Amino acid sequence: MRNCLRCEKEMVEDLDIKVEGAAYGVKVTEQGIFKGNLGKVKCAVCPECGYIEPYIEDPSKIKINSK
């Protein structure tokens, strides 16, 4: 369950994000050519104020580089 950062109401989750004019959606990848797909971007929307929050479907794929 996600709560809105602005008004603290419960958000509607698991919504898709689509690029207008195309049905491809949005994905996050590692930097560089032919790098791995880190996941599909999903969206949560606050039904009270309309605030939207994008998030990665499966954050376990993201690895933190320690330098």
Give tens-digit pLDDT for 43-52: 999 999 999 9
Q: What DSSP assignment string belongs to 18-55?
A: --TT-----EEE-SSTTPPEEEEEEEEE-TTT--EEEE
The verdict on residue 7 lying in a domain is: no
- Percentage of the chain with pLDDT > 90? 43
How confident is residue 38, by pLDDT bands cut at 50, 70 and 90? confident
Q: Number of structural domains, the chain?
A: 1
The verdict on residue 4 lying in a domain is: no
The verdict on residue 45 lying in a domain is: yes
pLDDT tens-digit series, residues 2-29: 999 999 999 999 998 887 777 677 777 7
For residue 27, what are the β-bridge partners?
A: 40
**pTM (two decimals):** 0.72
The verdict on residue 26 lying in a domain is: yes
Residue numbers of the domain that contains 16:
12-58
The verdict on residue 23 lying in a domain is: yes
